[in-house]
Amino acid sequence: MNFEETEIKGCYLISPTVFEDDRGEFFRYFCENEFKKEIRNLNFVQFNQSINFKKGTFRGLHYQVPPFCEAKLVRCVRGSIQDYILDIREGSETFLKHLKIELSEENKKILFICEGVAHGFQTLEDNTQLLYHHTEVYNKDADRGIRYNDPRVNIELALPISQVSEKDLNYPELKEFQGIKYEM
C-alpha cells in the first residue's frame, strides 16, 4: 500500500497494491500494521455502506463534534465519486481549505479522513456504492454539517446536483464559524 498525505494534514490518499491473474484481482484496503506505521493505530467501530442510485447525488459535508469526532476510511466499490474534504479544525494551517479527490471502482483509491475534517461526495455515475469505516459510532447529538454551497467554502461541484437531502440543504451558513477544537 502507498500512503500519500494530502494538503490537509492528517488525511491520506491510499493506493493499494493490486495483484492480478486470470481469476481476477486481489488487494488489501486495510492492514492494521501498515496503518500503524504510516498513520497511527486506529480502532474502527462502525462500518457503513452508501448506495446511490443517481449520477449527481450529493451527500455532505458531514462531521461530528467533540468528544465524538471520528476518522473515516472511505472507498468507492462501484461507480465513481468526487470526494470532498474540508478542514474545520480550529487553528489548523489549512482551516476551511477543501480538497476534491476522485475515488472509483476502477482506480481503487482509498481516502483516510482524520478527525476534525468534514466529508462529502458527489456521485459521477448511476448506482455508485461506497464503504465507510468509522472510528466512532454515529451520535445524533454530535452530528453536524456544512452546506456544500456555503460562500466561505466555495466548493465547485463536478455535476449539477440530481439529489440531495433536505437535511444537507438546510445546514446553517458558517458566517462566524471558528472551527472545532480537536487535537490529534
Q: For residue 73, is the peptide bond before it cis, meaning its omega torsion is within 30 degrees of 0?
A: no
155 has a pLDDT exceeding 90 = yes
Q: Which tens digit of pLDDT belongs to each residue from 16-54?
A: 999 999 999 999 999 999 999 999 999 999 999 999 999
User: Which pTM was predicted?
Assistant: 0.94
Q: Is the pLDDT of residue 153 over 70?
A: yes
Rounded average pLDDT over 79-105: 97
Q: Burial level of 175, CB count in 10 A (0-12/13-18/19+)? A: exposed
CATH number assigned to the domain comprising residue 123: 2.60.120.10
- How big is the CA angle at 73 (ends 68 and 79), to the nearest 5 degrees? 130
54-91 pLDDT, tens per residue? 999 999 999 999 999 999 999 999 999 999 999 999 99
* 175 within domain boundaries: no
d(CA 73, CA 135): 9
Positions marked catalytic: 62, 132
143: confidence class by pLDDT, cuts 50, 70, 90? very high
Residue 18: domain span: 2-169
Coil, helix or strand at residue 157:
coil
**Tell me, what's the pLDDT at 57?**
99
In a domain, 174, yes or no: no
What pLDDT does 183 receive?
Answer: 67
Q: What angle do CA 142, 84, 62 make, to 5 degrees?
A: 10
Q: Tell me whether residue 184 is in a domain.
A: no
**Would you call 33 helix, strand, or coil by DSSP?**
helix
What's the rounded mean pLDDT across residues 148-156? Answer: 91
Asked if residue 183 is part of any domain, the answer here is: no
For 172, residues 6+ apart whose C-beta sits below 8 A from its C-beta are 147
Q: Could you please report the per-residue DSSP string of 90-118?
A: TT-TTTT-EEEEEEETTT--EEEE-TTEE
- Number of structural domains in the chain: 1
> Is it the case that residue 177 has pLDDT exceeding 90?
no
Q: Is residue 10 part of a domain?
A: yes
Residue 179 lies in a domain: no
43 falls within a domain: yes
> CA of 122: how far to CAs of 97, 128, 158, 177, 184, in Å?
18, 10, 8, 24, 28
Contact 74, 131 (CB under 8 A): yes
For residue 184, name the pLDDT band (cuts at 50, 70, 90): low
